[in-house]
Amino acid sequence: MSTPPTPSDATRTPSGLHVPGYVRDPDTHPPLDYPEYGSTALRHPKRPLTLLPHMLTEITAPVLGQDRLGELDHDLTRQHEEEPQGQRIIVHGQVRDSDGRPVPHTLVEIWQANAGGRYRHTSDNWPAPLDPHFTGVGRALTDAEGHYRFVTIRPGAYPWRNHRNAWRPAHIHFSLFGRAFTQRLVTQMYFPDDPLFFQDPMWNSVPDPKARERMLASYDHDATEPEWALAYRWDVVLRGREQTPFESEEEILEDDE
């Protein structure tokens, strides 16, 4: 593993300030225009994206701390007087960057459907019951080694109207900040062996089948707690730092001029 650039790698020149940027990872992500997901039709830009060189605003981000968290935000089974229905699970993992470095003390937000596949949201009105003991929202900070841990229930699959007999595989929405604006990521975690992937445009929108697998949690027997809860492990990888910040910033700016 090479040594990461640090703020001291920033370079002052007579005209300004160079800072190390972040690796671009366009091959990982779904396209904004993806006809199989009907709602993208009117919500994707037609003009090509303009390359934004990474400068100070892009390599920084809010440093969010414990004050954003309530005491039980990490445990979605204890946010009401009684426990929610469903299979109790532990979801845990490590947030790293693409150089393998842990991303410590960063905010992880999750939201999900209940065990019957229904969200506590005014627009979700398909005929599955709401659970009075489940909100479906959690927050946690990663620890010094980038680890996060939630206790929740396994969400159900649910139908939607994208195509005939469309069903979303069970998933948990994740939102991560990382330490830079460039690292911001909102994604979904899926469960192994779900039979619904073949017809799910969200899953299939990720072009590389190997990249799809990176949205998949794995059953973790070591973290499973006897007579209490099954565990799933899901690691998240955010973009890492560029190794040659000076050159790449120059190239990007010259390309644009």
Partner 1 sequence: MSTYPTTPSQTVGPYLHIGLPWPDGPYAVDEDVPGALWIRGTVHDGAGATVPDALVETWQADPEGRFDHPDDPRGARAHPGFRAFGRCPTDASGAYGIRTLKPGPVPGPHGDQAPHIDVSVFARGMLNRVVTRLYFPEEEAANAADPVLNGIGDPEARATLVARREEDGYRFDIRLQGEGETVFFDV
Residues marked as catalytic: 119, 158, 168, 171, 173
| 179 contacts 103 by C-beta, under 8 angstroms | yes
Rg over CA atoms, the chain: 20
CA distance 181 to 38: 29
Examine residue 132 and tell whether it contacts partner 1 (CB under 8 A).
no
**Encoded tokens for 159:** 């139908």
> 99 vs 143, which CB is nearer to partner 1?
99
Q: Minimum distance between the CB of residue 242 and partner 1, rounded to whole angstroms?
A: 10
Examine residue 157 and tell whether it contacts partner 1 (CB under 8 A).
no
| 160 contacts 213 by C-beta, under 8 angstroms | no
| Number of amino acids touching partner 1 (CB under 8 A) | 94
| 88 contacts 148 by C-beta, under 8 angstroms | no
**Encoded tokens for 92:** 């845990």
> Pseudo-torsion of CA 203, 209, 211, 214, nearest 10°?
70
Q: Minimum distance between the CB of residue 96 and partner 1, rounded to whole angstroms?
A: 6
Give the one residue of 89, 90, 115, 180 binding partner 1; rule: CB under 8 A: 180
Residues 50-89 that bind partner 1 (CB under 8 A): 50-64, 68
Place of tokens 């937000």: 109
Q: Minimum distance between the CB of residue 127 and partner 1, rounded to whole angstroms?
A: 17
Examine residue 144 and tell whether it contacts partner 1 (CB under 8 A).
no
Examine residue 166 and tell whether it contacts partner 1 (CB under 8 A).
no
CA distance 123 to 137: 16
Residues 94-113 that bind partner 1 (CB under 8 A): 96-100, 109-111
Examine residue 218 and tell whether it contacts partner 1 (CB under 8 A).
no
Residues 187-216 that bind partner 1 (CB under 8 A): 187-188, 202, 205-206, 210-212, 214-215
Examine residue 133 and tell whether it contacts partner 1 (CB under 8 A).
no
Residues 224-253 that bind partner 1 (CB under 8 A): 236-240, 243, 249-250, 253
> 25 vs 194, which CB is nearer to partner 1?
25
CA distance 183 to 240: 8
> 28 vs 224, which CB is nearer to partner 1?
28
Exposed / middle / buried, residue 146 (Cβ in 10 Å: 0-12, 13-18, 19+) = buried
Q: Minimum distance between the CB of residue 224 and partner 1, rounded to whole angstroms?
A: 23
Give the one residue of 3, 47, 70, 193 binding partner 1; rule: CB under 8 A: 47
Q: Minimum distance between the CB of residue 93 and partner 1, rounded to whole angstroms?
A: 10
Q: Minimum distance between the CB of residue 42 and partner 1, rounded to whole angstroms?
A: 4
For residue 10, which phi and psi values (nearest 5 degrees)? -60, 145
For residue 137, which phi and psi values (nearest 5 degrees)? -130, 130
**SS3 label, residue 58:** helix
